[in-house]
Structure 1
Amino acid sequence: MLSLLLVHANQVVPLESLVEELWDDTPPKLARKTVQTYIYHIRKALREGAGDGPWVRTEPRGYRIRVGTGQLDLWRFQELCSRGRAALSEGRPGLASDAFREALALWRGPAFSGTAAGALLSAQQARLEDLRMAALEQRIEADMELGIHRELLSELKGLTLAHPLNEVLAGRLMRAAARSGHRQVALDAYQRLRAAMVGELGLEPSAEVRDLQRDVLEDVLLPERRTAAAPTDETVRPVVVPAELPPRSADFIGRTRQVAAITAAGRPSGAAASALPAVRVVVVTGGVGTGKTVTAVEASHQLRGHYPGGQLFATLHRPDGTPVAGRDALTSLLLSSGHPDGQLPSAVEDLARLFRSWTSERRMLVVLDDAGSPGQVIPLLPSSPDCAVVVTSRWRLEGLPGAVTRVELKGMSEDEGVALLGSAAGARRVARERPQAAELVRLYDGLPLAVRALGERLAARTDLLVRDLLCRARDDGQRLAVLRGPQHDSLRRVGTAHQRLPAAERELLSLLCRLPRPVRERELLRAMELSGRRTGEFDRLVESLVASHSVEITECREGLAFTVPVLSRLVLSERVRVDRRASPREVAGGSGGAGDRNPPDPAVLAGIGT
């Protein structure tokens, strides 16, 4: 309530607005009396503060909080932003940059963090976040007017990862990279923006951004200019401290034990840390949709204070699922570290040696997201025991050097899943249908990817009830469609993850999805024989699928049983239904031909164990 009064300082906030903020459309009978009690406690708390502090006055239609000049940081923020915009329009980028920096320094986190926001306060939160982003964009514009481009690359790369649909930030990164001589970084930024916009919005980037991409391709952008000559000697080049961690997720729920395990393994331990013979490597592993990246980012933020040398972040697969080449990944890391592009070697081995040499003198935290193999990770590892690396992967990544700790993620508990659903759709709204919400979480095995998608569906439609989604989700044929809102990126990730598997593993996984679960070992072997597959490689294929968290193994009285995680099973089963006539290799995403055998009829497969 105090937050709502302050955001409307010196204005009357109607009683009806306070009631709506506190209870939505279901106020208690004594709502007015309860509001009066809250106002009394607010007045008491303010009286115990500064003698001339703000105070709350009762008005005919509601309440008004009186705030004097200099007492509200929001006003100071807006004043500094106005000063910065004026300086920018007058051609004084230095003054503009200073004003915007001072304004942004007033922020210590999200607006009204720690406050349970209703509909009205949520709208104000969104408005203030828009103001903060506008100030950040204008501060970067002022810095670029000063000819500062190279120093902005690390910050801009982190911002574009956090805001993948922001065309302004993407354009700033493209321009800064191109004017610093890093055209590939600029083109990669455009491709990430376009993939995100087409995938999530169905839109192409604006004409301005497309024109900027053409300018980069034609190399017509002017190189960076400065009021003074940039230093060329390595000994006087300014030290760059990268800070590339993406922002924490505002709705991060649970995972207390796993985050503690990551931070314990990645944290230096005083004198013992310097005696540790190898770099600390934490592999966060789990199946598709288990929240590996968001968990790793949360833990890395808790670790960042231990690594003053900087924090680097690299994604090792592109949005279409293709792996990032080692040379590209190392080049990106070294550019973020301040190394000039023109002085970087071309061979991967030389780049890796340069990266190890640079990190050997620093206490660095490196986060490598979505790794596909040990070979992709090893060239990117520092050698110094004063550094730590957090890697996310579906695979266990056996054979990595260093002091390796593995932390496995599975589905969330029922309580955590319901809490995550409530954080996206509204805690009070979900609490009114707690049993239905719990069943909905169980149907999707508590996978954060699915639960968050369900929460977004509910948040997008206030008329939609949890029980409405539950009724559809109970039907296997509709369970996948329930997750599909206006954005399809989450489900596309499941599909691209499946495509990364070798062809033989894809075929077996597709076959498993057609069998009633769980599938016993002898049933799977018989299904392989019926579909014309060789059973001699059974152990190797199963071991590979288990290692990639594509299949889970349980024990039953008849021996081993196999289960495909719910999201993978739903996506792959849908592909089978789309084309019943496709061969096993076509269904699995391979390149089938005229010689492929037709898969056994589903009715035959369903009766294998009978």
Structure 2
Amino acid sequence: MFCDDEKVDFVQRPPLSHSHAQTGSWSILICLLGPFRLVNAHHAELEYGGERVEMLLGYLALHHTAALPRDMLLTLLWPDSDPALAGQSLNSLVYGVRKALKEELGGAPPVIQNNGHYRLNCEVGVSVDIVQFEYFAQSGEQHARAGELHLADVCYHRAVEFYQGDLCVTPDPQTLIERERLRARYLTLLMRLADASYGAQRYAESLSYVQRLLLYDPCREDAHRLAMRCYVQMGERAQAFRQYRLCQELLRHEFDAIPEQATVVLFDQIRRDQTSAPS
């Protein structure tokens, strides 16, 4: 969708302290996790006017802590155009975005320009799904450290709801690293939720989290083991065997490897009909 090939003179802004940025409240949410979307406070998708609007808002959202220089946006959006014409086109594009989204923001502009730099107007309720994802993940970790495990799980669940897919940006070194960081964080949250559900004897719920995780990381053995234990507790011993065989096949196909000892031990224990399987 868009790229970040050059180092540029971003104007860094301090973290926002208002509720729209951090507490799950927004007027417009820019979604970069999964297909690009704009949604309003009622979770309805908004029309936004085409590819260049997507590129502009997506790039500003990816760099939501910075104000981006005008020249950078002109190069991104109109790389082969005359600078004067590109500047006029950027003015028209920003005006069109404001016109399209003004009702959601009470007439306020979604994009602010100041001293040749552009940024999202987060102060009036423009937010980014990455910000919301990170906020709830961090809140869950804070609750977990305080021993408030139920509140931690509530926050983790809210976080994973925002992850509708991998970061939708054109691959380059910086964004690939960010994409993998967010994916790893998402998988960690899913595993925490799966473990918590299993511990609470909600085995079907635990299995659903594990299955979501395995869609993104099919070779993750701790997830396969938890799925096997869930099947045993649900009385589906044969399905636990199939899960083990699936794990074997995926590891062989992907890495020419065999399962870890812990996975083999669990399989043997289930085969001997010992349902109190180890972690």
* TM-score w.r.t. length of structure 2: 0.58
Q: 1:227-280: per-residue Cα shift (whole Å, max 9, x none)?
A: xxxxxxxxxxxxxxxxxxxxxxxxxxxxxxxxxxxxxxxxxxxxxxxxxxxxxx
Instruction: Report the alpha carbon displacement of residue 19 of structure 1 after superposing the two structures with TM.
Output: 6.6
Matched, 1:194 2:241: no
Q: Distance in 2 between matches of 1:167 and 1:19?
A: 47
- Superimposed CA distance per residue, residues 31-76 of structure 1 (whole angstroms, 9 cap, x where no aligned partner): 685376236413542365113454233556x533342386424323
Question: Which residue is equivalent to 1:421?
Answer: none
Please state if 1:105 is matched with 2:161: yes
Give 1:102 deviation, angstroms: 2.5
In structure 1, what is the Cα distance between the partners aligned to 2:87 and 2:272?
63
Matched, 1:81 2:137: yes
Q: In structure 1, which of residues 39, 55, 67 is the aligned counterpart of residue 122 of structure 2?
A: 67
Q: Could you tell me which of 60, 65, 85 is aligned with 1:10?
A: 65
Aligned residues: 215
Instruction: Give the equivalent residue in structure 1 for 2:49.
Output: none
Task: Write the distance in 2 (CA, Å) between the matches of 1:20 and 1:129.
Answer: 29
Aligned partner of 2:152 in structure 1 is: 96
Is the CA contact (8 Å cut-off) linking 1:10 and 1:65 kept in structure 2?
no
Say if 2:239 is the partner of 1:177: no
Secondary structure, in 3 states, of the residue corresponding to 1:63?
strand
Residue 28 of structure 1: SS of its match in structure 2?
coil
Q: Given the alignment, which residue of 137, 141, 165 partners 2:191?
A: 137
Q: Matches of 1:111 and 1:193 in 2, distance apart?
A: 23
> 1:567 matched to which residue of 2?
none
Alignment correspondent of 1:28 = 80
CA distance in 1, matches of 2:137, 2:166: 17
Note the alpha carbon deviations across 1:294-316, whole angstroms, 9 max, x for none. xxxxxxxxxxxxxxxxxxxxxxx
Q: Is the 8 A contact 1:54 1:68 kept in 2?
A: no
Q: 1:34 to 1:158 in 2, by over 3 A?
A: same
Residue 13 (structure 2) aligns with: none
Cα 1:83–1:126 shift into 2, 3 Å:
same
Q: Unmatched 5+ residue regions in structure 2?
A: 1-55
Deviation at 1:158, TM superposition (A): 6.5
Q: 1:29 to 1:172 in 2, by over 3 A?
A: same
Taking the aligned partners of 1:20 and 1:197, their CA distance within structure 2 comes to: 44
Q: Answer yes or no: is the 8 Å Cα contact 2:74–2:90 preserved in 1.
A: no
Q: Distance in 2 between matches of 1:35 and 1:87?
A: 48
1:90 to 1:159, Cα distance in 2 relative to 1, 3 A: same
Deviations 1:193-234 (A, max 9, x none): 2211221223334455455445545666637xxxxxxxxxxx
Using CA pairs under 8 Å that are at least 6 residues apart, name the structure with larger relative contact order, 1 or 2.
2
Within the candidate set 197, 218, 224, 1:164 is matched to 218
Name which of 37, 43, 58 aligns with 2:89.
37
SS of residue matched to 2:118: strand
Q: CA deviation at 1:170?
A: 1.9
State, as a whole percentage, how many aligned pairs show the same letter. 20
User: Are the counterparts in 1 of residues 221 and 259 from structure 2 also a CA contact under 8 Å?
Assistant: yes
Unaligned runs of 5+ in 1: 224-610
Alpha-carbon separation, structure 2, partners of 1:152 and 1:145 = 9
Contact conserved, 2:140 with 2:153, CA < 8 A, in 1? yes
CA contact (8 A) 2:193 2:206 kept: no
Q: 2:218 & 2:94 partners in 1: Cα distance?
A: 40
Q: Mapping of 1:397-546 within 5 angstroms?
A: none
Paired amino acid for 1:9? H
Specify which of 111, 116, 131 is matched with residue 55 of structure 1. Answer: 111
Q: Distance in 2 between matches of 1:35 and 1:201?
A: 51
Matched ranges for 1:523-602 at <5 A: none
Q: How does 1:302-317 map to 2 (within 5 A)?
A: none
**TM-score normalised by structure 1 residue count:** 0.30
Please give the alpha-carbon distance, in whole angstroms, between the structure 1 residues aligned to 2:192 and 2:146: 14
**C-alpha contact (below 8 Å) 2:195/2:206 kept by paired residues:** no
AA at the equivalent of 2:111: W
Q: In 2 relative to 1, CA 174–13 (structure 1 residues): closer, same or farther, beyond 3 Å?
A: farther
CA distance in 2, matches of 1:18, 1:196: 43
Distance 1:66 1:36, change over 3 A: farther
What CA distance in whole angstroms lies between the structure 1 residues aligned with 2:223 and 2:73? 37
Note if contact 1:167-1:209 (Cα within 8 Å) is conserved in structure 2. Answer: yes
- Give the partner amino acid of 2:165: P
CA distance in 2, matches of 1:10, 1:4: 11
3-state SS of paired residue (1:105): helix
Alpha-carbon distance in 1 for matches of 2:141, 2:250: 30
Distance between the aligned counterparts of 2:257 and 2:60, measured in 1? 39
Kindly name which structure, 1 or 2, has the bigger radius of gyration based on alpha carbons. Answer: 1
Q: Which residue number in structure 1 is paired with residue 203 of structure 2?
A: 149
Query: Quick one: distance in 1 between partners of 2:88 and 2:224?
Result: 48
Shift of the 167–97 alpha-carbon distance from structure 1 to 2, 3 Å rule, reads: same
SS at match of 1:9: coil
Tell me, in whole angstroms, the C-alpha distance in 1 between the residues paired with 2:115 and 2:213: 44
Distance 1:63 1:75 in 2: 18
What is the one-letter code of the residue matched to 2:137?
C
- Choose between structure 1 and 2: higher helix proportion: 2
Query: 2-side partners of 1:210 and 1:21: how far apart?
Result: 52
Aligned equivalents of 2:88 and 2:71: distance in 1?
Answer: 12
Shift of 1:7: 2.1
